[in-house]
Each structure stands twice: as C-alpha cells, then as structure tokens.
Amino acid sequence: MIVVTGGAGFIGSSIVWALNQRGKENILIVDHLGKDNNKWKNLAPLRYLEYMEKNSFLECIERDSLPDNISCIMHMGACSSTTETDNSYLVENNFKYSQAIAGYCLEKHIRLIYASSAATYGAGEEGYHDGYDEIERLRPLNMYGYSKQMFDLWAKRNDVFDDMVGLKFSNVFGPNECHKGSMKSVVNSAYHQIKETGKVKLFKSHRDEYQDGEQMRDFVYIKDVISIVLHFLDHPEINGLFNAGSGKARTWNDLAKSVFRALGQAPSIEYIDMPESLRPNYQYFTELDMDSIVKTGFKEKFKSLERNVEDYVQNYLSKNRLLGDENLG
C-alpha cells in the first residue's frame, strides 16, 4: 500500500493519478476536505482503496493501528498558503505533523517522500543549491517557508536524510489546483482574467534592476513534478534533500504571454502596484539548481514553459477537466 497525504490536494491528487496510470490502486488517501471548497472534486476521477481524514490518520499513527503493508508514505499534505498568518497553526500542521509521520516511517522502515519548498530559500541570498549542508544559513521570507525549513532542520539535526527524500517544489502549476483560491497559479488566474476581461494584470516592479513583469521565477508543470516524485519512488536507494523545479527562470511576462498564445489571442498586460504589505517579502528571482537530481540518474526532459502552459490551458482549463478526466470524450 502507498499512502498519499494531501491526496485530495493539488500535488497529492496528481500523484494518485500518476499511480493509477501505472495500474496502482492500493492507495490510502489522507486529507482534510473541510468546508466550502471544491477539493473533493479532485478525488472523483481517481481510483484508491481508502480515504482517511488527517486527524484520524495521526491517531492511527499514535495507536500503531495502520495497515502493516505500507511500503511508502508520500507526505504532500500541508498548509501551502504563503500568506497564512496563524503561525502556530503552520507549526502544528507543517512541522509537528511531519515529525509524527517521519518518526513512524523511521520506526517501521517505510519509505518517506515529503514536500519541502523552495520558499525555504527566501530571497536567494545563499543561492538555490539543494542539499542539507547549509540549511541553517537560509532565511525564508514568510512563516510558511520557515515551517517547511523547520522540518528540514529537524531531519538534518537527527541525521535521518539518509532514510528519506525531501523535495523543494517551486511555483508548480497545472490541473487540479482550482480549489486553492488565492494560492492558485498565475497561469490559472490569467486564463480566467483573459476570458473575462481580455487582459492580464501583473505586479509592477519596485526595484530598478527589473522592468515591470520581468521579475523571474522557476515555474514547473505538475506533470514534470510527478516525474520527479516517481523517480524517487522507483529508486528507494536514493535519499536526501533535492530541488524540484524546472531549473530555468522565466519572467511573469513570458508566463502571461504563454497563456494568451495558448488561447490564440494577442497579449494585453496591465501592470498594477504591488501591495505594500507584499513588497518586503517578494521574491524577484528564483531559479533552482537541478544538478543534484540529474546526478541521481533522473533523465526526464521537461517541455518548455510555452508547451506546458498550452497543455494546461487547452486540455484542462478550456475543457474544465481534471487529471483523470482525459477519457471523457
């Protein structure tokens, strides 16, 4: 059995879809569906053995009452809101919960693949090189990033990175993210802006060295993220802390123009002032170093940003489809 926490969420449900593509259905999905969101819709096209609420899963860990045939826990569940202000909630949900799962995996010798974040790099003063030698030097710009760093630090201080894999995801976009509200990708929000108004709004730059819309991020498509996760599932002998991005920074202008191109429309971009509350913590450049994962034997070649945006827009957003809906006709 494979356990996927956050299995109704964006990355988690996409992993379950990929496992289904391999014919695997002996999957336990762990999540918190809550109220007033459509996250449950991600589950509808998926095939899995059982669903469990996250608090019930934690209770099973504490009682040692989980099935004894679990081979891997893919821990993707977390509060991923970079603007979350309840710091104590982030500690409990992103750090302490991860500690409990890691402790269980270590005790039972279960493979653990967990989601860290490129938000741990902060403004990039120390670069974007993965590994855990200098985690202490990183300075995240928000509490979400720090809650992820807290677990990375715990794993290093307890010398357990030889027994698990952490993946630092960066600006992931793609199908199954529609429930994320304000945390949806700019590809998703740009698509809806264009359909409604014919134009896209992007933040102005408030630094002289960057023109408006020329701020750069490492955008990575969900299908490429899946290939990274499955690489480590297939190679249990490989462990450590790795970047999970495209390895190539692109501008917000590039991203917006890719959406217009996928819709067959001429670009129309309006630049708006960034809220002052965001300016101190805004990342102007992110580009993850992917050398470490290549050295593990990862050979997948990612498509361009333009091709990936085209796939997302034309095959999912325009058709109102999720991963798993491909055969609906």
Annotated catalytic residue within 41, 54, 96, 180: 180
Token readout for 313 is: 């827009």
Integer Cα distance of 13 and 27 in angstroms: 11
Here the contacts of 295-303 (C-beta below 8 Å, separation 24 or greater) are: 296/231, 296/235, 296/238, 296/242, 297/231, 297/235, 297/238, 298/228, 298/231, 300/224, 300/227, 300/228, 300/231, 302/220, 302/221, 302/224, 302/246, 303/221, 303/224
Question: DSSP 3-state assignment of 22?
Answer: coil
Q: How many CB atoms lie within 10 A of CB 235?
A: 13
Give yes or no: 144 in active site. Answer: yes
Integer Cα distance of 318 and 27 in angstroms: 30
Q: Are strands 269-272 and 200-203 parallel, antiparallel or unpaired?
A: parallel
Give yes or no: 301 in active site. Answer: no
Integer Cα distance of 272 and 275 in angstroms: 9
Annotated catalytic residue within 144, 221, 312, 316: 144
Integer Cα distance of 163 and 106 in angstroms: 7
What positions carry a catalytic annotation?
Answer: 144, 180
